[in-house]
Structure 1
């Protein structure tokens, strides 16, 4: 525990008043031997939030060290850099009382872990339990981050939009990163019970194992996965002494490749979607993916424009750096000018996908009859069954106004 004068100074920078927001972001942090990434993480989170969104978000920095002098120094450093956001309540700093932690030494060495690793992973479980308990009443949703990440610009709008799209689906968590315990989002009403589970079995398993066990015991629905990832891991030195983990999320969000106008349209498909993704994700302006299971023969993805367009160019990108085989290596690009009974008919082929999974057709160079009339639909047609899944990264369409 901190001495009385130190405790008073420390608590003067705490903001414990609960406020019902939209999203709480929890960041447990401990001292690393030769690296410090927390300030990069906080700066990235704050800079990529606009002023309006800051009123809907709580960023909780949990100083999880046992050294009171180090925590006091840390508070002073954070106050110096982030005073405006501490005063506004966007950033909050918390600590856990020492008595909250059960025995952490001389525990069972499950998985043949070293004593130091057992201590580290057991304490991590308790850290998460405390952070969950504190954060449960602050907002509708809670998301866990690590203290060594940076985020994609506009991450909050993407998260909020994606949650809204899933409002009619049964989900237990949404993963906005493919690495570790980064970007895992829950309903705040669920995290107290999950934290208690961590606390109960803290000395048995690492936290990632406990999450899987908890999901199986509760028979929870499958996790949803948002692609590409919104958070990138930048840390190299782990909080576990002597451990390095230079992991990078190769599915971290990048800017869209094409600067197309993508006229308003409805996107439909016969494919089996995965992870809560939808085909319109690849068509929208937001950076995201559509991911589907193995295509069947004659599956389609159809873009139905709200109004007929004068088509200039169509480009489609499939596959991903992490999953190069998840691409449309055999598929056709088709167009239709005839819309009848809520669907397009009389399709005309204008090009084939290349073996790399991409297609780019400039129709102004094509002297074909389909383009004499305004185009109402563009379709990706898959003639044969696939063994691999498919990632549809981007659908880009250029059009002109019809005179």
Structure 2
């Protein structure tokens, strides 16, 4: 095969699409600018200073005072795997709160870790009652209760007040995957009693995928450090290993990662500098807006999207009582090819909306309004484009009703504040 002439390829110049699916979404311009800054050595005092700033910035976003609040280098799934592999070992028992695709992902990871687990389930479009979680926990006595806060596959948000009390009753820890909600819906690690929460940048925080914020309670840290086994090439002469089983992953070993982020600065890996800059700016943008104001903006965007879709004559998927504020599921009208509409949205309007998974594949679209895209005008543009594309496919819709309904819903949420 002949060598390719590099001049055949120009600079990356992607189309300026409006990403209104379940994520990723368009990154905030401030985040992209921050990521263009010069690199630093991983132990440069400026760099370690930025690491300490990131820890401080993410504590209020997680709703915690946890010392161990930091980043895992990798996509949101890297944070999930780091949490599960560091908290659980083969033969341990976990309870999974399962109400969508990402509850199934937790089960997939636990299976690969040879962890025994049971599930407490709800149909897609609903959430699991807290009493059902308690009953399962009392029966199982798990080491960890694992749940997703907002599952974009079903667009539902699992209530979590009270889950910590259940865990303490049975001597368990709580792990929460908040990839889809961090920065857009309230997280309250301390109030919930959640021991480990992980997230991602690419949804409500308005950054690119590639860094996973994480917070770890003191109780979870104590367990993790019982499994500390520093690798030979970097261990200090006075290092003391934990009494427990070595964590089953080197890269996702939270004991070593936590020591890397501590005053020890254990040389576990080279920090992803550009991603850290981006994660830092995501947090700065979030806190500068104010968490209450930011959550209200996401609530207004979700309400506007829902109202506009309903005014168009479409039917929303799932329970209104537990709908995520930042992603809305809507049934594809009967007789309409959902992929043709998505293609038309992209080709004619440069707007992307999401398809669905599993039992909902081909049945619903998932339309997001989060982070930098949870803005009134972006919701209105999306609704107008969707109405146009649906009518072009032969759908019979009320003309021009969606945008006024969305405007009214947006105003109602913002004025109520």
Q: One fold, TM greater than 0.5?
A: no
Computing the radius of gyration from Cα coordinates, the structure with the larger value is 1
Higher share of residues assigned helix: 2
TM-score normalised by structure 2 residue count: 0.24
Higher strand share: 1
**TM-score, scaled relative to structure 1:** 0.25
